[in-house]
Amino acid sequence: MRRQPAKALLIDLDGVLRRWDPAVPAAVEQKYGLATGALMETAFTWDLLRPAVAGELTDAQWMSAVADRLPLPAGDASAAVTEWQTHRGEVDAEVLAFVREARAAGRPVGIATNATDRLPGDLAALGLTGEVDLVVSSWELRIHKPAPEFFAHAAAALGLEPQWILFVDDDDRVVRGARAAKLLAYRWSGPDGLPYLRGALGLP
């Protein structure tokens, strides 16, 4: 029997709705004599990333800790991180069009993301504040994906049972967590997946 269409959409921000230009950190690393990938690798070290997205550190504290670990004099390290963080990414136009299409068809859309306290400012700067119905932020919840409690809160915020929610993320571990929490979850790898997602939401 064919599954009934999902009634709401939850979508990840980074890697799905927001894209990052890899040339930006690469240029900063080259300028300051850092190894390729050093900025991201340092920032995403789990003992720094986890407290940053779990509401235990502010974004500023996280970036300060990243600077402290770079193999540079303190002034250069701070300058490199500041220059890197000036770039706040860009919205994927195709994904945004899909979000608008879903909302126009009466499907509530929420951003569900592991984030820091910088998220509200980023959404405003990207022009996304009014483009979704709700934002589920790990920093606000003090719970990060793929914890079951994160998805339970998101479902409650939408007022739906999890099985009626389509969740889209680019991280396979998070997608598996969402499925374990009974959401219909899809791993994003690019706009080729949009026809499937439209079908899952019952969009024409």
> Whole-model pTM?
0.94
Under 8 Å between Cβ of 158 and 6: no
The whole-number pLDDT of residue 1 equals 37
pLDDT above 70 coverage of the chain, percent: 99
The 3-state DSSP class for residue 188 equals coil
Average pLDDT over residues 35-56: 97
The whole-number pLDDT of residue 112 equals 98
C-alpha span between 148 and 105 (Å, rounded): 28
Distance from chain centroid for Cα 123 = 11
Average pLDDT over residues 81-110: 98
What DSSP letter does each residue of 11-59 carry, written as one string?
A: E-TBTTTEE--THHHHHHHHHHTPPTTHHHHHHT-HHHHHHHHTTSS-H
Q: What is the mean pLDDT of the chain?
A: 97
The whole-number pLDDT of residue 204 equals 86
pLDDT in tens, 156-168: 999 999 999 999 9
Q: Which residue has the tokens 């606000």?
A: 140
C-alpha span between 160 and 200 (Å, rounded): 16
